[in-house]
């Protein structure tokens, strides 16, 4: 049998308002109640789950980055892309991904 690292069970009772608040927070974050409570206890940052629009934007940015990487790889192999150009493009992609992460 596998040993659990979390072997202490804690049960609690909530009134209707507390339970509704917990469910609302779970829905907003996309986390289950157990995981959410662990994050709250440890002081971890709780973020709302990304909207479908943001997820689509993130997938699009990832695809663009992937395409740029493939183009740069081919151009670099053929000797037609200078390293400074690739570095600048990579820095822009990184900045764009960081900006998207802030929205999460």
Nearest to 92 by CA among 58, 70, 68, 63: 68
13, 28, 100: which is closest to 64 by C-alpha?
A: 100
Distance CA 59, CA 61 (A): 5
Tens-place pLDDT, residues 23-50:
999 999 999 999 999 999 999 999 888 8
Cβ–Cβ under 8 Å, residues 46 and 56 = no
Mean pLDDT of the chain, nearest integer: 84
pTM of the model: 0.54
């Amino acid at each position: 049998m596998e040993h659990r690292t979390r072997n202490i069970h804690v049960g609690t009772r909530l009134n209707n308002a507390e339970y509704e608040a917990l469910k609302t927070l779970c829905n907003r974050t996309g986390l289950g109640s157990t995981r959410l409570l662990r994050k709250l206890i440890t002081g971890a940052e709780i973020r709302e789950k990304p909207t479908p629009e943001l997820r689509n934007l993130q997938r699009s940015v990832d695809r663009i980055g992937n395409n740029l990487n493939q183009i740069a790889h081919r151009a670099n192999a053929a000797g037609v892309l200078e390293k400074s150009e690739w570095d600048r493009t990579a820095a822009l992609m990184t900045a764009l991904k960081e900006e998207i992460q802030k929205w999460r």
